[in-house]
């Protein structure tokens, strides 16, 4: 696969970097610049839910292979995995800046450990580990494709990766102080409800997932280092439960509009 190839840096194995975007113009240049500088990129793959801003222009200017997809976040993740041809790959959110120069080396060492499903780069200053977020994560391409992420998933698509890891008795490992996450979508006033709706859609009426979600909410706020955020955790969880109980209402609030099933995505090649 040719477009967007950056070759190997310092003899490190090149790797495909996968980015899902929507309205990401404010943060994407910083994201891709940090990836170009700190990762030995083989191919930079951007899958965009058609953005109304300069997202595509920025992606092309950074040498990415760009694809369009209007089905869902799960579909964007799967499309990126199918277009990649290294194994493992790195998922990188469009509002993340890689901050740790040796993240890739540390992640490869962790990934080489027995029974490892994925390696997550944690945000600067975060000390409490949880889950398998895809903000900055190295994982197996074939393994991720086999996990069964539904194309229509708009959020909590990582549930399927965590379920696959649990079934195979594999672990998620972590590299601390690896990135800065701007959390663009978290500014939405109904982000908690959206998360609750996504949990319900992915896992159904699962007491395990509800308990896990409460743990994640608390750890997420503890990572902020702010007492008021920790005290807000019960309120956040209540809003999450509101979304969980009414997924049809709160599921479509993310990424601008409800999921729409379309024909096969069309590749948009850089000029």
The CATH number for 172's domain is 3.90.550.10
Q: Does this model's pTM top 0.85?
A: yes
Closest CA to 29 of 73, 4, 70, 63: 63
Q: Is residue 151 part of a domain?
A: yes
Which residue from 40, 16, 20, 42 is spatially nearest to 31, judged by alpha carbons?
20
First to last CA, the chain: 16
Number of domains in the chain: 1
**Separation of alpha carbons 202 and 152, rounded Å:** 10
Q: Are 149 and 104 in contact (CB under 8 A)?
A: no
Measured from the Cβ of residue 146, the count of other Cβ atoms closer than 10 Å reads: 12
* pLDDT of 260 higher than 80: no
The predicted pLDDT at position 270 comes to 35
In a domain, 238, yes or no: no
The answer to whether position 211 is within a domain reads no
Kindly report, residue by residue over 62-81, the tens digit of the pLDDT.
Answer: 999 999 998 989 999 999 99
Convert 243-269 to b/e letters by CB count within 10 Å (16 or more is b). bbeebeebbebbbeeebeeeeebeebe
Which has the closest alpha carbon to 104: 202, 191, 45, 17? 17
| Residue 9 binned pLDDT confidence (cut-offs 50, 70, 90) | low
Compute the average pLDDT of residues 207-227.
Answer: 94
> Is residue 90 one of the residues assigned to a domain?
yes
Q: Give me the percent of the chain exceeding a pLDDT of 90.
A: 80
Per the structure, the complete domain to which residue 104 belongs is given by 15-183+255-268
Residue 196 lies in a domain: no
Q: For residue 59, is pLDDT > 60? A: yes
Does 242 fall in a domain? no
* Residue 110 falls inside a structural domain: yes
Label residue 259 by pLDDT band (50, 70, 90): very low
Indicate whether 159 pLDDT > 90: yes
Residue 153 lies in a domain: yes
Nearest to 214 by CA among 237, 193, 192, 235: 237
| Local confidence band at 155 (pLDDT 50, 70, 90 cut-offs) | confident
Read off the pLDDT of residues 223-234 as tens digits, 9 standing for 90 and up. 999 999 999 999
| Strand order across the beta sheet in which 15-21 lies | 96-98, 171-181, 116-123, 136-139, 89-92, 15-21, 41-48, 65-68, 267-268
């Amino acid at each position: 696969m040719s477009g967007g190839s950056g070759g190997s840096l310092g003899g490190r194995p090149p790797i495909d970097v996968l980015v899902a975007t929507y309205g990401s113009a404010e943060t994407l240049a910083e994201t891709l610049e940090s990836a170009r500088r700190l990762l030995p990129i083989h191919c930079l793959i951007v899958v965009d839910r058609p953005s109304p801003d300069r997202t595509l222009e920025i992606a092309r200017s950074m040498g990415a292979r760009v694809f369009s997809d209007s089905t869902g976040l799960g579909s964007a993740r799967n499309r990126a995995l199918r277009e990649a041809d290294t194994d493992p790959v790195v998922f990188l959110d469009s509002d993340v800046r890689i901050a740790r120069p040796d993240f890739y080396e540390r992640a490869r060492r962790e990934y080489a450990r027995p029974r490892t499903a994925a390696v997550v780069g944690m945000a600067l200053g975060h000390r409490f580990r949880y889950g398998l977020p895809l903000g900055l994560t190295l994982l197996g391409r074939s393994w991720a494709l086999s996990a069964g992420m539904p194309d229509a998933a708009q959020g909590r698509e990582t549930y399927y990766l965590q379920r696959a890891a649990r079934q195979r008795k594999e672990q998620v490992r972590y590299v601390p102080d690896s990135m800065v996450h701007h959390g663009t979508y978290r500014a939405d006033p109904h982000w908690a409800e959206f998360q609750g709706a996504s949990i319900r859609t992915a896992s159904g009426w699962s007491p395990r997932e509800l308990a896990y979600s409460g743990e994640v909410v608390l750890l997420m706020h503890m990572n902020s280092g702010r007492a008021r955020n920790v005290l807000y955790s019960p309120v956040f969880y209540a809003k999450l439960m509101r979304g969980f109980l009414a997924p049809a209402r709160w599921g479509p609030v993310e990424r601008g509009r409800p999921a729409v099933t379309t024909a096969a995505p069309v590749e948009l090649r850089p000029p």
